[in-house]
Amino acid sequence: MIGSIAGNALEWYDFMVFSYLVPVISAVFFGGAGQRAVLFTTILFGMGFLTRPLGGVVLGLFADRHGTGSAMVLGMSVMAVSMLLIACAPGWHTAGLVGAGIVVVARLLQGFSAGAEFATSTSFLIEEAPPGRRGFYGSWQMVGQAAAQILGSGVGFMLATALSPEMLVAWGWRLPFAFGLVILPAILVLRRNGQDTEPRPARDTLQGSAARFLRDLRRQKGRALSVAGLVGGTSATLYILYGYNITFATRTLHLPIRMVFFITMAAAVVMVPFILLAGCLGDRFGGRRVLFVSLIGLLIAIIPLSAFLVAGPSVGRLLIMQVGLAVFSGLFLGAYSTVVTEVFEPGSRTTVLATVHNMTVMLVGGTSQTIVTWLLAVTGSAMASGLYVAMAVLGAALGAGWLAVERRPARRMALSGAEPVPVHV
C-alpha cells in the first residue's frame, strides 16, 4: 500500500510540477513569457493527455491479466524515462524548437505511463481493503494526489525563494524533475515487493481480454457515462483550481509567485484530512451520497469565492478561496476514487475504468488550461476560469446524481457472472 500511494504521488507530481512551472517553462522553450508563449506551453502540457487512453488500455489489459502491482511497476519505469528527458532537454536559446520537441516526446511518454495509474492503483487499494473499509482505503488514492500537490508546490516555493527569476529560468526549473528521479528507485522497490491478494480471473489470450473488455464496456455504458461526468469535474478541479493556479494568479492577478506556491501547498495540506474523512463517511453512509453532497457544496462555493478574489486580488483573498474550496474538493475527491472504481465489474475493472477515465481526462484535462488561457485573453474577464470549473463540476454533479439513484449493480453483476462487489446506495 505504501508503494502504491507513494508511486501514485510521484506519478502525479510529475504531471503537476509541469503544470505549476508553465510560466517558467514558457520562457525556457519558447523564448518569452508573453501570452502566446504561455498558450504554446499549455498546448505542450496537453500533449501528455493524448497517449493516456492508449496507456490506459495497454497497461489496463496488462493489469487485468498479470496483476495491478506488475502494471504499476511497468508504468513507473516508463515515467522515469520521461522525467529524464525533460530534465535534460535544451532550451530555446540553445537549440531552438529542438528542446520543445524533446519535451513533446517526454510528455507523450508521461501520458502513456499515467494512463493506467489511477485505475491500477485505486483497484489495488480497494482490492486490498478489509471488508467495509473500501471507501477509506480508496481515499488514499487521492491522498497520493494531494501529496503530489504538496510536494510540487513545496519544491516550487523553495526554488522561488532561493533563486532569482533569471536563475529559475536558466537552470532551476530542472531541479524538480531531477528530484523525482532521485526518489524513484525506492518507490519502484516498494511496488515490486507488493503482492496482489485478490484472485485474478483465469488468463486468456490478448484477443479474449480485449473482447471481454468491449463486451463489459457496452453492458456498463450508463455507468461509464456517469463516471465520465465525474472525471470531467475532477480534471477541472485538479488542473484548473490547483494546477493552473500558479499561472492564473501570477499572470492575470499579478500576485508574487513565491506566495502563490505557498498557498497552493497550504490548500493541499488542508485537503488531506477531508479526503480521509470522506472515505470514512463513504463506508458509513455510502460513497455515492457523500460524492453528490460534496459536489453540490463545491458547485455553490466556486462562483462566490472566485468573485471575491477577482474583486480585489490579494494574497489573503487567494488563501481564503483556495482553502475554502479545498474543504469541498477534499470531500469530493475522497469519495470519488472508490465510487468510480467499484461500480465496474472486477473481471475487466482496470481496463474499463482506465479507458473511461483517460478518454475524459484527454478531452477535459488535456484542453482545460489551453481553453482557460484562451478565454481569459478573449473575454478579458478573470472570472473565466471559475466559470469553466463550475460548468465541469455541474457535469460531475449530474453524473453523481445518476449513480446515487442507480440501484441495480448486484443484478447486473449476477447476470454477467462477475464477482459481486459491495456497493453503497
pLDDT, tens only, 260-308: 999 999 999 999 999 999 999 988 888 888 988 998 999 999 999 999 9
Q: In whole angstroms, what is the distance from residue 364 CA to residue 371 CA? A: 10
* Arithmetic mean of pLDDT, 153-165: 87
pLDDT, tens only, 161-213: 888 888 888 888 898 888 877 766 766 666 565 544 444 454 455 555 566 66
Give the pLDDT band (50/70/90) at residue 116.
Answer: low
Residue 199: what pLDDT?
44
Residues 6+ apart with CB under 8 A from 149: 12, 16, 242, 264, 265, 267, 268, 271
Mean pLDDT of the chain: 80
- Number of CB atoms found within 10 A of residue 171's CB: 11
Residue 383: what pLDDT?
92
Do residues 274 and 155 make contact, with C-beta atoms less than 8 angstroms apart?
A: no
Q: Model pTM greater than 0.85?
A: no
Residue 159: what pLDDT?
87
Do residues 292 and 349 make contact, with C-beta atoms less than 8 angstroms apart?
A: no
Percentage, residues of the chain above pLDDT 70:
82
Angle between helices 98-114 and 2-20 (to 10 degrees): 150
Domain coordinates in residue numbering, the chain? 1-193+214-405
Does pLDDT of 347 surpass 60? Answer: yes
* Arithmetic mean of pLDDT, 312-323: 94
C-alpha cell at 103: 519535451
Does pLDDT of 419 surpass 50? Answer: no
Residue 306: what pLDDT?
93
Residue 348: what pLDDT?
67
Overall fold of domain 1-193+214-405: Growth Hormone; Chain: A; (1.20.1250)
Residue 408: what pLDDT?
47
